[in-house]
Amino acid sequence: MQELRDGLRAFNASGYEIFDDFAKTGEVVIWSRVPRAPELGDRFDIETQGVVQDLAVSSVRTFPGGWTALCRLPD
């Protein structure tokens, strides 16, 4: 990802970034600046390690201008 002159990173053109630590923690973090944040229990199909996983949102945090969602395999 390109870093701008003021030290900030350019945001992904899709409006979302996914941090995949599934192999180590069983979790994936999605963050975005789109206005609508997901709700607890919302589901995302995410490909990780060559396999599509059906992950559920287990926590959501908001920040000025965006949100992050922690996703795990549903119980």
Give average pLDDT by consecutive 10-residue segment, the chain, 75 residues. Answer: 49 76 92 90 91 96 92 91
Residue 44 sits in a domain of what CATH number? 2.40.10
Domain assignment of residue 9, yes or no = no
pLDDT of residue 34: 84
Domain assignment of residue 46, yes or no = yes
Model pTM score? 0.78
Domain assignment of residue 49, yes or no = yes
Domain assignment of residue 6, yes or no = no
Count of structural domains, the chain: 1
In DSSP notation, the chain reads: -PBPTTSPBPPPTTSEEEEE-HHHHSEEEEEE-SS----TT-EEEEEETTEEEEEEEEEEEEETTEEEEEEE---
Domain assignment of residue 51, yes or no = yes
Structural domain range at position 55:
16-72
pLDDT of residue 4: 46
